[in-house]
Chains A and B, each alone.
Chain A
Amino acid sequence: MSGVLTREDLAIEAPAPREDLPLPLSLRGVSKAWDKGRVPVLSRVDLDLDIGDRVRIAGRNGVGKTTLMRIAAGLIDPDQGRATVWGASAAERPERYQRLVSFLPAGDRGLYARLSVRRQLDFWARIAMVPRRQVAARVEEAIETFDLRELADRRVDRMSMGQRQRLRIAMTFLPRPDVVLLDEPLTSLDGEGAAILYAAIERLLDAGGALLWCSPAGEHMDYEFDRTYMLDEGRLVPA
């Protein structure tokens, strides 16, 4: 006897295999085709995000990255397969799913042009079901964190594209989700905006969250990912 106790010595049951445990985000066998099945986009895609993971999906334009993100966000259903957050899908528990996941869609849409930054954040905090006693503090925190103080009372239609993007990113992080999905988040951002975004991601990961980022192949960025995949012909392959 070596004097070192093993699990067998103590008759301790080994932990369940990793794949049996729910993950912050898991895509299993996800397939999607457009135009009534005539245009396949995703083909049996598997992807897991564990706590603290930062994963990037890259690929050519139109290859299906945004479709994959929309499925992961619970915005559209896959034709086959499942997207789950901590084991439950958006169809099964939509309210819980949307509390745990926050999605920044690509582009500059999703803002009310005639609302100010502060009103926009307040609106989003409330429909994101942030406890109402915390709404005001969270809004001010987002204004501070994403450097929106000077813009707080400015209407969105009077802001630059980069400023709007910073607001959209602030809205994405405001509810303090477990999983953040960012679709081309660097669009229109300057270096300072990108640095603010990276800092927000680090805080998310420090708090036990996970990140899925998608952007076109070849995009330059000063940020390290744990894993990068290429989406090609409907499948994810390690880059």
Chain B
Amino acid sequence: MSGLGDNLSAFFAVVRRDFHIFLSYRTRLVSQILTSVFSLTLFYYVSRLVHVDGFTTPDRYFGFVVVGIALVGVLYSCFAVSETIRQELVAGTFERLLLSPFGGVRGAVATAIFPLLYSFVLSTITLGLGAIIFGLQLHWSTVPLALPALILALLAFLPFGLFFSALTIATKQANVGATWVIALLSIVGGLYFPVALLPGWAQLAAEVQPFTPATELLRHLLVDAPMETSVGLALAKIVGFAEILVPLSLFALYRAIRLGQHRGTIIEY
């Protein structure tokens, strides 16, 4: 078996690979920042037009929705790994991972990291632009706490990407139903509007995934939004989801790879 140092070296080699590939597309960052600016502009003026119950001022709703916009990027990045795996299957580079001592499961987990880090950077830029251009009021005393909360949340979000990666390896199709899942999660996760506005059954759906407590907690830490539950309960829910979903998703990924190797379909794309 390899030592921790060699494993970390391999792990960061995958992250570095994705970073260099990202850098080779020079306009990608600019275009995504522009997309954030357009979203911020749209919701800034929506917040001026609409007076929503529960928000005392338009700025409160704007703060609420800016955090949602930032987290939508994180939500998408969780699912990006399955698209990358699909590209790797087509290019034959996933085969390289399988033929390495590092292996397919560790390779897929490492592949998920760069999109998450990048989404973190984009979210920070979105919040920064919201503050600089549109006067978003950040709650600076608790902003630093958002970083560990986000890392914890990412651990709970990551399994969604790994489940879809397993599905991609099994079906050879990227993001089978992922668009629906992202749309559903962004609604029941309360990314654009409060969960309390949803019908009862949808509020139930809000309870059985980690996006709702993570969104609520991060909103509280970043813009001092009031919480429906306590900080401790939100944290406990996020940790609980991570504890259950991480091993399950790793097992699903392992089984998808082994099944593909057994049937011989792992080489298909």
Interfacial residues, chain A to chain B (CB-CB below 8 A): 32, 34, 67, 70, 73-77, 94-96, 98-99, 102-103, 105, 107, 109-115, 119, 122-124, 126-129, 131-132, 135, 155
Contacts and interface: CB of A to CB of B under 8 A. Distances in A.
Q: Which 10 A-B pairs have CB atoms at the shortest separation, nearest pair first? A: A109-B92, A126-B13, A127-B102, A114-B24, A110-B92, A127-B100, A132-B9, A129-B101, A76-B264, A98-B101
B102 A132 contact: no
Interface residues of B, number: 34
Given A77-B261, A95-B101, A132-B5, A127 B91 contact: no
A34 B7 CA distance: 35
A141 B24 CA distance: 26
Contacts of A109: 91-93, 95
B17 interface: yes
B99 A114 contact: no
Given A127-B10, A127-B14, A129-B6, A73 B99 contact: yes
Contact of A98 (B17, B100, B264): B100
Contacts of B101: 94-96, 98-99, 127-129
Contacts of A115: 17, 20-21, 24
Given A95-B2, A127-B102, A110 B9 contact: no
A110 B91 contact: yes
B93 A110 contact: yes
Interface centre among B9, B10, B99, B262 (most CB of A within 10 A): B99
Interface string B242-269: 0000000000000000000110101100
A76 B266 contact: yes
Contacts of B96: 110, 124, 127
Contact of B93 (A34, A111, A128, A131): A111
B56 to A, nearest CB: 50
Interface in B198-237: none
Contacts of A132: 5-6, 9
B207 to A, nearest CB: 39
Contacts of B13: 122-123, 126-127
A200 B235 CA distance: 56
Given A115-B17, A126-B9, 6 more contacts: A77-B264, A111-B93, A114-B20, A127-B107, A128-B102, A132-B6
A76 B20 contact: no
Contacts of B103: 94-95, 98
Nearest to A102: B99
A127 B7 CA distance: 8
Given A126-B10, A128-B100, A114 B21 contact: yes
A197 to B, nearest CB: 19
B1 interface: yes
Contacts of B266: 75-76
A105 B25 CA distance: 28
Contacts of A126: 6, 9-10, 12-13, 102
